[in-house]
């Protein structure tokens, strides 16, 4: 159906391959020097394929390719103070949204003003009542990380909004 083509909608949605994800809780970032933890909520560091997003004052989401698993686990194992590092790789799936209409598409479910989100940063927020993590990979490319059980709900809204965009609504 021509009206559903990504070209007409101005945005494409791609489900990304599985990746290693760690939810880290830690009181003092100086105790994990090997992880390049950003300090400010929303900031994200990227280094050798690994990214670290600061979700809260003592909480980070670390994503790494499968090939970087051992190096990441070694860095986590070197932390010598009480902390929590939980592997949540399978808990979420990530959708890549890309195209000139990406902000309009995200606005179909996310109340946050994502036009103000700087490229290279991210945040935990909400998408039609499902908690999600949004990161801005480029001016017109976002990643949406969704808890697996909420993913069909979020995807259905995104697909509907894509059809509406393609139809010029």
Partner 1 sequence: MLLIHCPYCEQDLPELEFAYAGEAHIARPADPSKLTDEEWRDFLFIRTNPRGVHFERWRHINGCARFFNAARETVSDRFLLTYKAGEPRPDVAKLTGVAQ
CB of 74 to partner 1, least distance (A): 28
Beta bridge partners of 126: 131
Site string for partner 1, 128-147 (x = CB under 8 A): -x-x----------------
Stretch that binds partner 1, among 12-20, 30-38, 70-78, 118-126 (CB under 8 A): 118-126
Q: Is 111 in the site for partner 1 (CB under 8 A)?
A: yes
Instruction: Rule CB under 8 A: say whether 59 interacts with partner 1.
Output: yes
Q: Are 94 and 19 in contact (CB under 8 A)?
A: yes
Complex with partner 1: residue 38 or 42, whichever CB lies closer: 42
Cα distances from 131 to residues 6, 66, 110, 164, in angstroms, run: 26, 25, 10, 24
41 touching partner 1, by CB under 8 A: yes
Q: Is 157 in the site for partner 1 (CB under 8 A)?
A: no
One residue of 11, 20, 93, 123 binding partner 1 per CB under 8 A: 123
Residue choice 29, 36, 55, 79 for contact with partner 1 (CB under 8 A): 55
* 57 part of the interface to partner 1, by CB under 8 A: yes
Residue closer to partner 1 (CB basis): 33 or 148? 148
70 C-beta neighbours (distance < 10 Å), count: 10
DSSP 91-111: TEEEEEEESTTHHHHHTTT--
What DSSP designation does 33 have?
G
Does the footprint of partner 1 cover residue 91 (CB under 8 A)? no
Stretch of residues binding partner 1 (CB under 8 A), selected from 50-58, 81-89, 144-152, 157-165 = 50-58
Query: Phi and psi of 15, rounded to 5°?
Result: -85, 125
Do residues 36 and 30 make contact, with C-beta atoms less than 8 angstroms apart?
no
Alpha carbon 167 to its chain centroid, in Å, reads: 28
């Amino acid at each position: 159906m021509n009206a559903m083509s990504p070209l007409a909608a101005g945005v494409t949605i791609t489900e990304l391959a599985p990746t290693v994800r760690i939810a880290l809780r830690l009181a003092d970032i100086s105790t994990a020097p090997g992880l390049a933890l950003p300090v400010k909520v929303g900031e994200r560091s990227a280094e050798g394929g690994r990214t670290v997003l600061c979700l809260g004052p003592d909480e980070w989401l670390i994503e790494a390719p499968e090939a970087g698993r051992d190096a990441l686990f070694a860095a986590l194992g070197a932390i010598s103070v009480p902390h929590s590092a939980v592997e949540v790789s399978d808990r979420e799936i990530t959708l890549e949204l890309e195209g000139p209409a990406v902000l309009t598409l995200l606005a179909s479910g996310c109340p946050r003003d994502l036009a103000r989100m700087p490229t290279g940063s991210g945040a935990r927020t909400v998408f039609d009542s499902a908690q999600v993590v949004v990161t801005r990979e480029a001016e017109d490319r976002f990643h949406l990380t969704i808890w697996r059980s909420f993913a069909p709900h979020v995807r259905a809204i995104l697909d509907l909004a894509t059809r509406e965009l393609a139809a010029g609504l």
